[in-house]
Structure 1
Amino acid sequence: MSRRICIVSGSRADYGYLRRLAREIDDAPELTLQWLVTGTHFTEKFGSTYREIEADGFTIDERLPMDLADDTAGAVARATGEIMVRMTDALERLTPDILVVLGDRYETLAAANVALLLRIPVAHIHGGEITEGAFDDAIRHAITKMSHLHFVAAEPYRERVIQMGEEPARVFTVGAPSLDNLIDLQRLTLAGLEARVAHDLGEGFFLITYHPETLGAGDAAAPARAMLSALEAWPERRLLVTGVNADPGRDAVAATFADYAAAHPERVAMCASLGETAYFSALALCGAVVGNSSSGLIEAPAIGAATINIGDRQKGRLRAGSVIDCSDGIDDIRAAVSRALEPGFLDACADREPPYGRGGASARIKQKLQSADLDGLRIKRFYDLLADGAQAHG
């Protein structure tokens, strides 16, 4: 009997990480792929990105839009509670053998919680990481404790998952799955990208990927305004601004970008969802990535782009030499951008080993999903790290 593997996707961001894994599963005769699609995929202002899944030839088995009345913390909390009820019904219909979740989103936490209660083994991708500037950090670690298989992006993250009491035999260092998408990517030319976004970009444009710092105090949009002010030091370079995610504070940040674009229509192009090909092409073509997205730490270095990482949202994650950290002050941002644009900056970083691997993660994950002992997975033992050695407790 074919093993049913259900993948949960809640946004355009995690789909980019999961797409190649889904193809690996779909192509394996011993496995049956299922899709549970939720989060912002069905929201028009985020690009109705469920269409990307269908355009890739996949069938969406369960469609669970999330009703986010606004971007307040209360709305997010209520929507997370409500989606758990519908996820319970969906997973009881699908009866997967393993549920695959990625990362640290609140809809992912809901899915892992439901699977735990339904005794469905959970496989978690990208655990063990630290992002001190967002509540994603706590969500990620909570999902780790509800999961039965762990696929981490780097060896320090494996050690951290084990530190949380997970058995070493269940924790696998596979690299970042999103890097698999770069292996045979048919990149757009600058003209092709400009046609896709319907805007002239020119050489050396800035790619802006900025999201709210959910643990930050005060005005969520203030760092975005500071970033835009700092980039005015390079008026000849245009800005390609990607969509803001659905975290609390999202509306204020998105409005800041929209207002700036309206005031500078010749300079700013905005796109709710670029899609994988256009986004990775933009990474390859831009002068620098500016913002606080994880893509600036994972995909940008692999593709050869410099990253200016603003604030604390990604604090704690591994970094390549091409990532420049700075505060959200105008002068600090401007200094970081100046450094990234220096001749020879990227060349000086080129020989370093990328912290998230060089691809192949999806095939490694598929193999483990295929060979895992399902009966043995359901019973977890806490793995203690003691002064005189480690010992597992049942």
Structure 2
Amino acid sequence: MAERVTICVVSSGRADYGLIRPILDALRADPWTVGQLLLTGTHADPRFGSDADDLIEADALVPMPLDGDDSGTAARGAAAVLTGVVEALERLTPDAVLIVGDRYEILAVAQAAMLLRLPLIHLGGGDVTEGAIDEGIRHAVSKLAQVHLVTHAEAARRLRQLGEEDWRIHTVGNPSLDSLAAAAALPDAALEGLLGRPLGADNLLVCFHPVTLLPDGGRAEFDALLAALGELPASTHLWITRPNADPGHEGLTRHLTDWASGRANASIHATLGAAYLPLMARCRAVVGNSSSGLTEAPSLGIPTVNVGVRQQGRLAGETVFHCAGEAAAIRAALAKAMAANLAGAINPYGDGKTVPRILSVLTSLPERDTLMHKRFIDIEVAGG
């Protein structure tokens, strides 16, 4: 694409906004690119945290109705996203669409781009999370995408295994790591202003989401996590983010609210927003089943206790301590994590220089016809 290229960057909620924001800023700062922002998913739903400034700034906002807590609600919400995103993209007329990850509403965005014959740029393909429906969604989106921005070499190998052409695959790292140095340098007073309360003597960041491939949605694992956290001393403050919008979130949120009631050392947040990474840098550990503990915490030298099966199969470095979703196992993993010497630990998801690599890819995209006509590359298997 020799002329100035317009790329519509899509975010579906708090989980991917930290990934797309530095990319959007780079696109808007570069003279050869135009960055558009399309918000969908839970961005307009205050139950999951929304930022009024981001909503005002967006070039398009596509709400996702979530009037229930079951799989049917998710399916109907995704259908509404498909319709709304088609209308938004027809109005915005970008040259390409950039999406992140593996949420069900992101699959709807990918469908919209495909049906409108817009080149799709996918960040985060090739990862593995065997405990959630995200696994199938991620690989499906990869097959719909024309350009792949992957966070590590193993992910690139898996995309080649899926038949993707090598020239379409770019190993760039995780873009959220580019802003970690600034996040860690935020003064305590400024961070406490964002949080609305003082930091504890010790701090833990707790993030647990529904486990969509378990019959109970992860409730037993969540109960075990809360039991383990309940035994920690009152001097340890628990900064807890609410579960995401996956089916089963309402039950987990009610249980969490009841459990935290009357506990002075526990605070629940719909989203921590700009405080999330600076707070992570002040914590003794990250605990739960969020991918950020595997992808971002290592660069800060913060250990992660990864609970249960949600992230099963995802690449993890030496700062990650896996444990079963049982109270005794969680207690043991927490003790081990907080006693560990992590000096010199390497984050397998990148070096904090991802955004310039992404911008280099986006400013040198081939012509549209070349992008849109994909070939399937067979891999010869020994003995097959």
Relative to the length of structure 1, the TM-score reads: 0.92
Alignment match, 1:153? 151
| Structure 1 residues 1-394: aligned runs within 5 Å | 1-49=3-51, 51-52=53-54, 59-185=57-183, 187-218=185-216, 220-236=218-234, 237-264=236-263, 266-276=264-274, 278-342=275-339, 345=340, 347=341, 349-373=342-366, 374-387=368-381
Please give the secondary structure, in 2, of the residue aligned with 1:314. Answer: coil
What is the deviation of 1:222? 2.6
Please give the secondary structure, in 1, of the residue aligned with 2:363. Answer: helix
CA–CA distance in structure 2, aligned partners of residues 372 and 279 of structure 1: 33
Report % sequence identity.
Answer: 41
Q: Spell out, residue by residue over 1:109-161, the C-alpha distance to the aligned partner (whole angstroms, 9 max, x if none).
A: 10111111111000000100000111000000000000000000000000001
Over aligned residues, Cα RMSD in angstroms? 1.7
Contact 1:204–1:288, Cα closer than 8 Å, also in 2:
no
CA–CA distance in structure 2, aligned partners of residues 13 and 382 of structure 1: 31
CA–CA distance in structure 1, aligned partners of residues 382 and 290 of structure 2: 40
The one-letter code matched in structure 1 to 2:295 is: I
What is the deviation of 1:88? 1.1
CA–CA distance in structure 1, aligned partners of residues 193 and 38 of structure 2: 32
Call closer, same or farther: CA 1:185–1:195 in 2, change over 3 Å. closer
CA–CA distance in structure 1, aligned partners of residues 195 and 361 of structure 2: 39
What is the deviation of 1:357? 1.2
The one-letter code matched in structure 2 to 1:379 is: H
Call closer, same or farther: CA 1:64–1:53 in 2, change over 3 Å. closer
Contact 1:10–1:38, Cα closer than 8 Å, also in 2:
yes
What is the deviation of 1:60? 1.2
Call closer, same or farther: CA 1:50–1:380 in 2, change over 3 Å. farther
Q: Which runs of 5+ in 2 are unaligned?
A: none
CA–CA distance in structure 1, aligned partners of residues 5 and 212 of structure 2: 38
The one-letter code matched in structure 2 to 1:385 is: I
The one-letter code matched in structure 2 to 1:138 is: G
The one-letter code matched in structure 1 to 2:223 is: R
Which segment drifts farther, 75-84 or 254-263? 254-263
Which segment drifts farther, 109-118 or 186-195? 186-195
